[in-house]
Structure 1
Amino acid sequence: MIAALRFLIPLLVVLTVVYVCLSLYSRRVRRDKLEARWRDKGMRGDRDAFINRGLKKYDASFRRKLIFGVYVVPLGLIAVLIYVTNFM
């Protein structure tokens, strides 16, 4: 059990860093796309409000939730490997 914790705690730290970086990158890409859309369509009005509305929609989107796969996939694979190794 101690060996598993010695492995999982650093793994969770690394996965958290990867999650934060990926989340920030994805949000920046969405912001850039919204700015390009505003510029290309020649819209008028409050540009910041348009971008903030788009980012709020993005925060509630399925794509944003897929980033949690950074945690789910590696930890799920480790759980399957442990199960197969110990119980099959």
Structure 2
Amino acid sequence: MIGLIRLAVFGFIGMTAAYFLMSVYSRSVERERLEKEWDGDPAKGDDPEARDAYIETGLQGYEKSLRRKLIWLVYVIPTVIVLILVYLNDT
């Protein structure tokens, strides 16, 4: 039983680190995509305030996107797999 608790604690720590890293990376990729989209369209101009507003608006849309929500699977999938393995091992 102690082994299972230890696995759960260290697993949660590992999944939290993976979630944090994937979340930061995904947001960075989205920001880079928005910056390239702005820089690729010369009609948008060179106004830094407008560029920042465009990027922030795009990132607000990203916060509500499916891609951001799918990162939560970092917690769900390993937990389900471990529970299935524990169940199969006990039967």
Q: Same fold by TM-score, threshold 0.5 exceeded?
A: yes
Q: Kindly tell me the number of residue pairs found equivalent between the two proteins.
A: 87
Q: 1:57 and 2:87 equivalent?
A: no
2:75 to 62, 65, 71: 71
Q: Which runs of 5+ in 2 are unaligned?
A: none
What's the counterpart of residue 9 of structure 1? Answer: 9
What's the counterpart of residue 20 of structure 2? Answer: 20
The percentage of aligned residue pairs carrying the same residue is 38
Query: Moved runs in structure 1, 4+ residues, more than 6 A?
Result: none
Q: Deviations over 1:26-76 (max 9, x none)?
A: 000000000000000121350111000100100100000010111111111
The alpha-carbon deviation at position 2 of structure 1 amounts to 2.1
Q: Distance in 2 between matches of 1:27 and 1:58?
A: 8
Q: Which runs of 5+ in 1 are unaligned?
A: none
